[in-house]
Structure 1
Amino acid sequence: MEEGVLFLLSKGIESIGNIVIVTFVRPSFSKDGFLYDLVAGRGVSSLRLKSLTEPFPGRVEGLPPVDFLLIPFPFLGPSGQLDLEVCIWSSTELGADCS
């Protein structure tokens, strides 16, 4: 992973569940993209989103048009907690994946 790279993991609440978004805030000199894998688990069930980060230089105003993972309320734990795994890797690492 490069130095000076910042990823934001955001969670919002909608009427049917939580949305989770990964945003890549890139330095002006960086041209690389990153792949990510989000997995929300509950017991033996899981929800998964595999996508490419959208690069945004500097501050992001409002919600950018990106992929997101929608996690329905019944999928949350008894206390409303969210069990989430996040894996991020460079898109230049062809064939790389989270295991």
Structure 2
Amino acid sequence: MKNVTLAIDETLLEQARALAERRKTTLNAMVRSLLAQEVEQEDRIAWAKEGMRRLMEEQPLDLGPAYKWNRDEIYAEREDRMLSRLERPPIRGIGEET
């Protein structure tokens, strides 16, 4: 194993040592673990990106007929949803024929 020298703020160093003590481990072990997690996460991201790239190349996406977004349709749909929340049932006895 190689030794590495790090420059760390004194307050952070004290807090990290206290955390390591509470976890019954060493600061050295915590740093190794954190670095290993970062490298592993980077590897998983690279693996996922490669898988997605391969999937897109091998399976072309069929989106069906081209659709052109229409702002008026979108706003009309949104307006209908908003207005439907404001509708209230009629009050019994008002406007009813006897």
TM bracket, shorter-chain basis: under 0.3
Higher RCO, Cα 8 Å, sep 6+: 1
User: TM-score with structure 1 length normalisation?
Assistant: 0.18
User: TM-score with structure 2 length normalisation?
Assistant: 0.18
Which structure has the greater CA radius of gyration?
A: 2
Higher strand share: 1
